[in-house]
Chain A
Amino acid sequence: MILIIPLIIGSIIITSILSLHNISEVRAKFYDIYEMSGIQLMNELSVEVNRIANDLTLLSTHPILANNTTSINEKINLLQRHINFSQSKYLAISIYDTNGTTILDTSNKSPEGNALQEEFFKQSKAGEIYFDKNPEEIAFNQTGFHMSVPIYGSNKVINSIMDVGVSISFIDNVINNSFLDSDIKQNSVHFNSRIVHSDGSVIYATSQQNDRKDIASRTGSNFSLLGPSNMESEKTNSQNSIIITVPESENVKGYRSDGNWTLLLEGNLSPVMNDYNKTVNEFLILSTLILLTAIGVTIIAVNKITSPITHLKDSALELSKGSFGKEVMVEGSNEVKDLSISLEVMRRNIENSNRNLIRKVRERTKDLERANEELRTKEFQVNSINNELRISNRAKEEFLSMISHELKTPITPMKLYIEMILKGSKSENLNEFQKKALDIMHRNILKLETIIEDIFTVYKLELNNFPINKEITNIAEIVENNVSALSPLMKDKNIKFNSIVNTTGTILCDPLRISQVLSNLVNNAVDHVPENGGQITIRVDEDIHPSTISSNGTDNEHRKSVVFTVEDNGIGIKPENMNGLFKKFYQIDTGLRRKYGGTGLGLAICKGIIESHGGNIWIDPSYHSGASFKFSLDAF
């Protein structure tokens, strides 16, 4: 856009220069035309002077004039016949004899006295045609030139001089008939044409407004400048005036010019130049207007094209910033309009989907808030339940602990006394009955202690408050300790008891608790093997996959684990009883007449302890020679 302004200014400057150049060209053209015309005019003028001279020369040879004997009247008649005075071409004729005496004068204004001293007389007496180029009043207030010719007698000797007053109007005729005149008229250029004598006087002027003498006096000082050599400089006078000087023609046949006349053409180009300038100005104004209009149109057009694009750009920018609320203006040319429409459609789609999204998010948020509220309520409820549970658990624990203590405390002195009697020196004084009674009492006290301990343990396990102190334990050692602890019992009962340990590894466990489990399982087996030929085996193997049998998933499948097995050759366990066996107080044989004793807590305690270790305990259903209890623990 900024580029357009210097372009416009440049065009205006170039146009102006061209116009100005044209003005000088116009002036030069006018100059050429009028110079040519001037030259022609001066030629015509010379030709006319020459014709007059010829006419007079011809007249001078007429016998009536040349013969001194003819009367004056005859001569006047002749002259009147030949010279048409009515045309005002000739103002007066006078004839002088060679002595300067007036013979004839039509004007009665012949020189007073003698004409001998007159220039025309001297010239013509010498045989020349004289033409006085300075006009003077000749007759009846009419201005004219003196032209004198010698009149030759029959002897070819000058016998008289004829002086004719030629009216200045012949110049009018020449000028009026000249090309210059019509041309000047055609071009409506106001020209002052003057014929100036070399002595400074104005011979003739076309301008009627100006007095000849005035002009002569005013311009006289300049005439020396108006020679042919100064013509070039005159071309560049002023803008609106043009002065052309043309010298008298020298090459006209017959009449020898003295070159005293100069045609001075003073033209006023103002009308033409004004016209021209007007045209040029109009052109300039018009072209400027056109240019400005063009610029305006261009700017508007450019704006019309670019502003939709700018709007589009702004809209696209807005969209890219993520604000979809402002409508895209649909405007501009077809392509831009299409683009705007597409963008607007896109914007609306995005806005709609945004709105939908926001609505959905709000709905979801509301749902979530509701759910959260519910969760909070639930959490609160759970927390209060947990608190209650914790309180009730603590209460239970405290109750259990108290019960256990209260149950154990009375047993302690009973047991102490029985043991003191049975094991001390006092037992020697007892009879068999007393000894038997004390023995039974002692055994039952121990049993009671175990039952109390079991109950306490099983509830502690259930309350997850059973202390497990894990340490790295050698498997073989723990089995060996169990075997040696249980061996006396086995010997008493005549049971074949052995152990097979197929691993040298260790496990991370509470050895006392694992011993307790093993001992529980073995003691269970002891109760179920036949009285004679009972067999109990403790076996430990590595890497048997417990997951195929285990109840809780396949987590252990790829872990190295250790499986403890306690097998007996007892009555075995029916598959339908296998699941319930680890529940507390579960006994297959219920009722008062049950064959096997125990509290039914042993296996529940085993299960609790093994699960507290992250292990599994189960009964091998594929073992049919008796019962096979297995538990697995992660190898360490």
Chain B
Amino acid sequence: MKNMKGSMPTMKVLIIDDNESITEAVKDFFEFENIECRTVNDGKRGLLEIENHNFDLILLDIAIPGYTGIDILYELKRKQIENLNIVIFTASVFKSEQINEFWEIGVKEVFTKPISLDKLEYIKQKYLRK
């Protein structure tokens, strides 16, 4: 909370990935930029976070063991939760028709893994500017 500056509402980002090191690194990247970050390492909790809080951006990993990123997307679609900003990271080639299903709930872009600094910079510039 040290970075919060009174009257200035900060951007809030949710990072969902099963790998703690990655979520931590991404969280550090955003917090250096004074963006509030929440990290979740399993799908079910990620879904709960999305349902219960407003995030300016959600970074979603697809290949989460157990409750996967795809499961989260279907559940959001089923619950008709819309107006989200979701950026997907996936190791495999995501088929475009598969993504087309989720444009309506707010999937904005798909990036292939690995997550790199360039990609994070790009996302920050594109989706997290006031």
Contacts and interface: CB of A to CB of B under 8 A. Distances in A.
Contacts of A449: 114
Interface in B84-130: 91-93, 113-117, 120
Given A410-B21, A424-B32, A416 B93 contact: no
A234 B120 CA distance: 162
A560 interface: no
A417 B93 contact: no
Interface in A159-176: none
Interface range on chain A: under 10, 10 to 19, 20 to 34, or 35 or more? 10 to 19
Interface centre among B19, B26, B29, B117 (most CB of A within 10 A): B117
Contact of A415 (B19, B24, B92, B114): B114
A415 B114 CA distance: 10
A408 interface: yes
B25 A413 contact: yes
B47 interface: no
A420 B21 contact: no
B28 interface: yes
B19 A413 contact: yes
Contacts of A412: 19, 21-22, 25, 113-116
Contacts of B116: 412, 415-416, 419
A97 B72 CA distance: 199
A136 B24 CA distance: 196
Secondary structure call for the A interface: helix
Contacts of B26: 416
A309 to B, nearest CB: 84
Contact of B93 (A415, A419, A423, A467): A467
B11 interface: no
Interface range on chain B: under 10, 10 to 19, 20 to 34, or 35 or more? 10 to 19
A405 interface: yes
A409 B32 contact: no
Nearest to B118: A419
B63 interface: yes
B113 A413 contact: no
A410 B22 CA distance: 8
A413 B91 contact: no
B22 A409 contact: yes
A486 interface: no
Contacts of A405: 63, 91, 113
A293 interface: no
A420 B32 contact: yes
A38 to B, nearest CB: 147
B29 A420 contact: yes
A416 B117 contact: yes
Contacts of B117: 415-416, 419-420, 423
B110 to A, nearest CB: 16
Contacts of B91: 401, 404-405, 408
B92 A401 contact: yes
Contacts of A423: 117
A411 interface: yes
Given A405-B63, A409-B114, 12 more contacts: A408-B91, A408-B114, A409-B19, A411-B114, A412-B113, A415-B117, A416-B25, A416-B115, A420-B25, A420-B29, A420-B117, A423-B117
Q: Top 7 closest A-B pairs, CB basis? A: A413-B21, A416-B25, A419-B117, A412-B114, A413-B25, A405-B91, A413-B22
27 contacts: A404-B91, A405-B91, A408-B91, A409-B19, A409-B22, A409-B114, A412-B19, A412-B22, A412-B25, A412-B115, A412-B116, A413-B19, A413-B22, A416-B26, A416-B115, A416-B116, A416-B117, A416-B120, A417-B25, A417-B28, A419-B116, A419-B117, A420-B25, A420-B32, A420-B117, A424-B32, A449-B114
Interface of A: 401, 404-405, 408-413, 415-417, 419-420, 423-424, 449, 467
